[in-house]
Structure 1
Amino acid sequence: MKELQRFSRKYQKEMGWEINPSDYEASRASLLNNYMLLTTEIAEVAEELRKAFNMTNHNIQQGISEEKSFELAKESVREDLGKEFSDCLAYICKIANFFEIDLEESFYSKMEEVKNRSNKDIKYIKK
């Protein structure tokens, strides 16, 4: 993750896509714009999932097994879904870099916190 953040910082500088650090209002406007772009990319992830579910349901209606239908759908959206996740990750890295957040350190720390929560979600097991 550290290497990804380093790459992201360099790439955004080369492309002229850095968050504007000149003053509060410029930073605020730039951060809000990048947040808006991130949420747009997250919506595109949802659209790829929707495509996969619709394709699965269509194939099931055509007589293909549920398992095979879902595998075909996952295969069909894999590349585009990867691109959308990459877009999301680029914006997350950009914002994290602006705030000088080490995402790798933050991730592991958060996962440890979640592991130790007393109000964990309970997984439903289908019988």
Structure 2
Amino acid sequence: MRNLQEFTKGYQKELNFHIKEDSYERSKVSLLTNHMLLTTEVAEIAELLRELCVTAEQKMEDGIDEVTAFRQAQEQVSVEMGKEVSDCIAYLCKFGNFFERDMEKDFYSKMDEVKNRK
């Protein structure tokens, strides 16, 4: 994760995709814009999940067994799913970088917190 954060920091600055920090107003607009863009990418994942289910159900109606139908539908959306998940990771890294977070450390800390809930 640290490597991803470091890569995205340079990549996003190079392309001028980083969250602007030169004024409150620009930061606010940039944060809100990037939040909207992230939610759009999450919605695209939802659309692929819908496509997965619809495709699997169509294949089952055509007589393909449930497991095979689901696997074929999964393969059909796999490449696009990878792209959309990657877009989400890029936006999340952007937020992590803006707030100067070590996302890898935060991730494992959060997973420990979840694991230890009662």
Count residues in correspondence: 118
Offset at 1:21? 0.1
The AA in structure 1 aligned to 2:13 is: K
Identity %: 52
Query: Which structure is higher in RCO with an 8 Å CA cutoff and minimum separation 6?
Result: 2
Q: What TM-score do you get using the length of structure 2 for normalisation?
A: 0.99
For 1:39 and 1:86, how far apart are their aligned partners in 2?
13
For 1:55 and 1:18, how far apart are their aligned partners in 2?
37
For 2:74 and 2:50, how far apart are their aligned partners in 1?
11
The AA in structure 2 aligned to 1:37 is: L
Which residue of structure 2 aligns with residue 24 of structure 1? 24
The AA in structure 1 aligned to 2:68 is: K
Which residue of structure 2 aligns with residue 41 of structure 1? 41
For 1:49 and 1:42, how far apart are their aligned partners in 2?
11
Offset at 1:92? 0.5
SS in structure 2 at match of 1:10: helix
1:18-47 Cα distance to aligned partner (Å, 9 max, x none): 111011111011000000000000000000
For 2:36 and 2:30, how far apart are their aligned partners in 1?
10
Q: What TM-score do you get using the length of structure 1 for normalisation?
A: 0.92
Q: Which runs of 4+ in 1 moved over 2 A?
A: none
- Computed over aligned residues only, the root mean square deviation of the Cα atoms, in angstroms, reads 0.5
The AA in structure 2 aligned to 1:17 is: F
